[in-house]
């Protein structure tokens, strides 16, 4: 009778398990709420079925599953291309990477700051939501898909008065303006009552429910504010906004 024993457990094996668990956690956290979530669930089901077929020694079914698995890596890269690109971009923006390598600042921040500066000068109201690690698919679904490269002219066009999408928020993922005219949850913070309008309450509301950063341009005064980590920072100048964007988005 064949006996099955456990392999010896080394200290490095424990480290290996911890590292893999951490990477999986970060990946699941990154794709949560994005369009990749249902696809990821489907892949997980696929691998479970494949494991069960091998365990039950279903030869024909196992052969089919092995044939499909032969191309799963390529399919994975194609399906998750936007998420992989955004993740690599975030890694490149880390302080440790910038310390050893001269990494140019992505043009997205410059385009956003330029648009905010000009809208502030013209007193054009705006609400710009920048996604970080937590997905915003539920917010994106309330608006109109754009899927265009972020640039100052496009942002100013969206928020120009009397255009169909100027009242909602636009959502930015990485260097892509994903959607506009999106509806954000309003904060119930009593401190805001009577002091700020719907845009500021919406900015604080989404910052209370996600790690996103939300920029507000007041239509009445042209003043700039931003919300992050459940805090609303008001009356900031354009240089302060730029520094805050660079600091928060590289965390």
176-182 sheet: strands from edge to edge: 144-149, 176-182, 169-173, 126-130, 213-217, 224-228, 231-236
Q: What is the pLDDT of residue 218?
A: 92
pLDDT at 2 over 50: no
Q: Interior CA angle at 108 toward 104 and 113, to 5°? A: 110
DSSP string, 102-128: -PPPPHHHHHHHHHHHHHHHTT--EEE
- What is the percent of the chain where pLDDT is above 70? 71
pLDDT digits (tens, 9 = 90+) for 192-249: 766 788 899 999 999 988 889 999 999 989 999 999 988 899 989 999 999 888 887 7
pLDDT digits (tens, 9 = 90+) for 118-158: 999 999 999 999 998 888 888 999 999 998 999 999 999 99
213 burial class (0-12, 13-18, 19+ CB within 10 angstroms)?
buried
As annotated, the residues of the chain forming the CATH 3.40.1700.10 domain(s) are: 107-249
Helix and strand totals (H; E) in the chain: 11, 7
Predicted model pTM:
0.62
Per-residue pLDDT band at 103 (split at 50, 70, 90): very low
CATH topology of domain 107-249: YojJ-like (1 (3.40.1700)
């Amino acid at each position: 009778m064949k006996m099955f024993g456990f392999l010896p457990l080394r200290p490095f094996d424990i480290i290996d398990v911890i590292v893999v668990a951490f990477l999986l956690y970060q990946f699941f956290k990154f794709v949560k709420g994005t369009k990749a979530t249902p696809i990821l669930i489907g892949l997980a089901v696929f691998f479970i079925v494949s494991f069960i077929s091998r365990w039950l020694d279903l030869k024909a079914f196992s052969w089919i599953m092995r044939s499909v698995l032969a191309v799963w890596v390529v399919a994975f890269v194609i399906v998750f291309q936007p998420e992989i690109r955004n993740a690599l971009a975030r890694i490149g923006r880390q302080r440790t990477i910038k310390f050893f390598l001269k990494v140019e600042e992505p043009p997205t921040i410059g385009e956003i700051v330029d648009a905010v500066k000009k809208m502030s000068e013209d007193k054009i109201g705006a609400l710009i939501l920048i996604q970080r690690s937590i997905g915003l698919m539920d917010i994106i679904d309330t608006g109109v898909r754009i899927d265009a490269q972020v640039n100052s002219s496009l942002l100013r066009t969206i928020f120009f008065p009397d255009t169909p999408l100027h009242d909602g928020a636009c959502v930015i993922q990485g260097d892509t303006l994903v959607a506009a005219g999106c509806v954000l949850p309003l904060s119930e913070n009593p401190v805001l009552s009577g002091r700020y309008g719907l845009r500021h309450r919406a900015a604080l509301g989404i910052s209370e429910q996600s790690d996103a950063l939300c920029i507000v341009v007041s239509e009445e005064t042209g003043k700039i504010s931003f919300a992050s980590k459940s805090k609303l920072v008001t009356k900031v100048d354009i240089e302060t906004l730029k520094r805050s964007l660079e600091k928060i988005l590289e965390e």
